Structure 1
Amino acid sequence: MAAHFKQPGDDRGAPARLGGNPRTHLNTRRGGDESYHAPEGNPHAAGLPHRRDAAYIPVVSEPPARRRGHNRRRRDRSFVETDPYDLSGRRSRDPRKRVGRVISVLLFVAGVTLIAAAALTWARNQWQYREQDRINEELASHADVSDNAATPPQVDWEALKAVNDEVVGWLQIPGTTVNFPVYQGPDNEKYLNTSVEDSYSLGGQVFMDYENTPPGMVDGQTLVYGHHLRNGAMFKPIADLADQEAFDAVSTVWYVTEEATYELEPLLLYETDADDADARRLTFGSVEELRSYLTDLLARAEARRPDAAELIAGASNVLTLCTCSYESGDTGRALLVCVPVPAGTDPATSD
């Protein structure tokens, strides 16, 4: 019976004085929730494991006595890698993880390099386009042009020749951005990517075929080339005339030389490829041969005048403007054939 009473120096009786049960008294702490603490001597009441030696098991299973830092852990052969999140393979001795990490780094570096190269290419192209626009704007300042189809360009030939004496003519299509001096080099390569300043240029200059008789409009067909730049500059408006509605909106083409002014009108536009040698036919044995040639082109035309056959019957020479057509890839070509306006005829009302 004495065992149920408090003995001197024994605190176990204190809960009994408060009316509690010493076997179910909660070991509370200040600021804590009593429901989270197990009763003294009864760990099962808090949902703890039945085994007294159960404890937290770390993800990395290394004996506590051997934990001497990260480097020591990697050198210790008894270290067991059980970390499922070691995706980089830095702590693993598995060669597959190390190879995977190397491949990941290489792919990352390659991706960054490609992005940087693309950015540099884009910046370089933008600079080249701006430089091309600058050159064209400076050259355009040497001619006074009007969007009025009845007004031919007034060209300062002396100023143009001071810049480059290979200039042979001036081309303008009122209502479009086509307004350029025309040059003729020793071959058809020089002005492809060379400016009048004799430096590299993305769009080069508008130029006449080197085998044509200068200054143009002398041979049966005078052929003038110009780039169709991706930003819409140079001869892009000519490629756009493959659309019949756009073709019908153009009534006049001016070709001016130092000696003469030629007023022309679009006859037809046809598309071909760079391997079509017949497109570069410049001279003909007779006027009838030229007209037969033009009749064959009319059958292939993407756009044409409604009275094209009548105009061909009276043609003795033509001016053809050639540029790239990207409808069939980079080798496609669009050619706009123009005929001189008969004297005393208004091209805007000749339909």
Structure 2
Amino acid sequence: MVDDNGRDSEGNSNKTDLKKKASIRSALKIIMVLICASTFLYSAYSLYIIGSEYKKGTDEYKDLQKYIEKLPTDSKSTKASKIDFDSLKAINSDIVAWIYFESTGIDYPIVKGIDNNFYLKHTFKKEENKAGSIFMDYENNSQFKDLHTMIYGHNLKNSSMFSVLMKYKDKAFYVSNPYFWIYTPNGDLKCEIFSCYITRSTSESYNKGFSSRDEYDKFLKTLKKNSIYDTGVEVTVDDKVLSLSTCTNSDKDDRIIVHAKVLKQ
């Protein structure tokens, strides 16, 4: 219809609707921008908190370096006697050893708790921190007398703790870093890596008790067979095995595990 002034009332109505729709779109855009900005700020804040927590943990472990001297890398090492385990035990009586890789950054005390949960979120000084600790399975013998000893640590985004284990997927990295050392109050253990692969957290790779030599032999053969690549290192039922485990951060139940045999000293 056209009014006395020649205006189309329906046309005016359409213009009003278009303006309302434009206003709604503008409001939605503003809301989306605010949501994105809030999400970004929250994520940035979360990363800052996590980063600060990781740094606090890293600083603590750096401070512990004053209780050791530079560790040697030969099989005749007696360096354990020069690590100040007495002072470390005064800080935390749960310490059982010190783990050291020559050039990978793994250089930490090993603790053992009453379960496998506490040290997932507590540092060596028992401070609550997502960086956690490097710790021995609570069911293992503290003096490394078991046939198979498990040691755990986190795979952190700042490349600390056990994150370097992921590099063992590359055989070239293994070739350059085939050994690590465990220093204890009672002597040093040189460990030769013989297998590396990704497995589930519930796999048989974490078995620690064996009823017979045949069962242990079968276990060792499985570890060798599972390896991503052939290391050429032989392992027998007369050997003790030390395994290092960490998350892959790709699946909550996936783990990368590195197996090593303890060389005769």
TM-score tier (shorter)? 0.7 to 0.9
Relative to structure 1, the CA distance from residue 249 to residue 149 in structure 2 (aligned partners, 3 Å threshold; closer, same or farther) is: farther
- 2:55 alignment partner, one of 130, 133, 137: 130
Match for residue 211 of structure 1?
A: 139
Deviations 1:239-273 (A, max 9, x none): 21121111122243211221232222112112201
The CA distance in 2 between the partners of 1:292 and 1:321, in whole Å, is 20
Q: Secondary structure at the match of 1:283?
A: coil
- 2:31 alignment partner, one of 82, 94, 106: 106
Deviations 1:34-56 (A, max 9, x none): xxxxxxxxxxxxxxxxxxxxxxx
1:166 aligns with 2:89: no
CA-based RMSD: 2.6
Shift of 1:198: 2.5
Match for residue 211 of structure 2?
A: 285
Match for residue 195 of structure 1?
A: 123
Relative to structure 1, the CA distance from residue 294 to residue 93 in structure 2 (aligned partners, 3 Å threshold; closer, same or farther) is: closer
Shift of 1:146: 2.8
1:300 aligns with 2:239: no
Q: Is the 8 A contact 1:149 1:252 kept in 2?
A: no
- 1:179 alignment partner, one of 87, 91, 107: 107
Shift of 1:103: 2.2
1:322 aligns with 2:245: yes
The CA distance in 2 between the partners of 1:226 and 1:338, in whole Å, is 16
- 2:148 alignment partner, one of 217, 221, 227: 221
1:342 aligns with 2:264: yes
Shift of 1:94: 4.7
Shift of 1:147: 5.4
Shift of 1:236: 2.0
Match for residue 52 of structure 1?
A: none
Q: Secondary structure at the match of 1:124?
A: helix
Shift of 1:231: 1.9
What amino acid does structure 2 have at the position aligned with 1:335? I
Rg: which structure is higher?
1
Q: Is the 8 A contact 2:213 2:237 kept in 1?
A: no
Match for residue 17 of structure 1?
A: none
Q: Give the unaligned 5+ runs of structure 1.
A: 1-77, 344-351
Match for residue 274 of structure 1?
A: 201
What amino acid does structure 2 have at the position aligned with 1:290? Y
Q: Secondary structure at the match of 2:58?
A: helix
Identity of aligned residues (%): 21
Q: In the comparison of the two structures, how many residue pairs are matched?
A: 253
Shift of 1:314: 5.4
The CA distance in 1 between the partners of 2:205 and 2:67, in whole Å, is 32
Match for residue 5 of structure 2?
A: none
Q: Is the 8 A contact 1:182 1:206 kept in 2?
A: yes
Q: Secondary structure at the match of 1:130?
A: helix
Q: Which has the higher contact order (CA 8 A, sep 6+)?
A: 2
The runs of at least 4 aligned residues of structure 1 exceeding 4 Å deviation read none
Match for residue 158 of structure 2?
A: 231
